[in-house]
Amino acid sequence: MGAVPCAAALRRELATLETQEPQEDAFADDDAFRRAYAAWDARYEELNDAQEAGAVFLGEQGCGHASLMVMTGPHRGAIWEDLRPMDQGIEPTGHDFAHWYRSRLERTEQQLDAVPAPARQSDTI
């Protein structure tokens, strides 16, 4: 994530690896399939996790979608959205942390304004 070409290379390698997922019917026995699948899965997880290197998790946006802030490299301070649960990868938003924070604060204030204020005790007596 620190450098766009690196992120693109990781996505390409992940896409290639997905096409190479071991299929059980291609193996003579269950043990050979399990070993091949475990090796494939370990590499898949390694590449998937590498996409987040140099970033910190800011918050969950729902349905697995998360906001990340890049901490290293030329994109330091930029906010990226982790859209992998929607099969869209990790993408830059074009915003910095200040924008991300203000927008979340404004959304929270709007949500609080929509909630009716509790009745004062003197109103209920």
Q: For every one of its 125 residues, what pLDDT tens digit does the chain have, with 9 covering 90 and above?
A: 544 446 678 888 888 999 999 999 999 999 999 999 999 999 999 988 888 888 999 988 888 889 999 998 888 999 999 988 888 888 899 999 999 999 999 999 999 988 887 765 665 55
For 5-24, the pLDDT digits (tens) are 466 788 888 889 999 999 99
Is 107:90 a contact under the CB 8 Å cutoff?
no
Give the pLDDT confidence score for residue 121 in this predicted structure: 62
pTM above 0.85, yes or no: no
Q: What is the pLDDT of residue 51?
A: 82
Residue 4: per-residue pLDDT: 45
Give bridge partners of residue 60 from the DSSP assignment: 66
Rounded Cα–Cα distance for residues 18 and 31 (Å) = 21
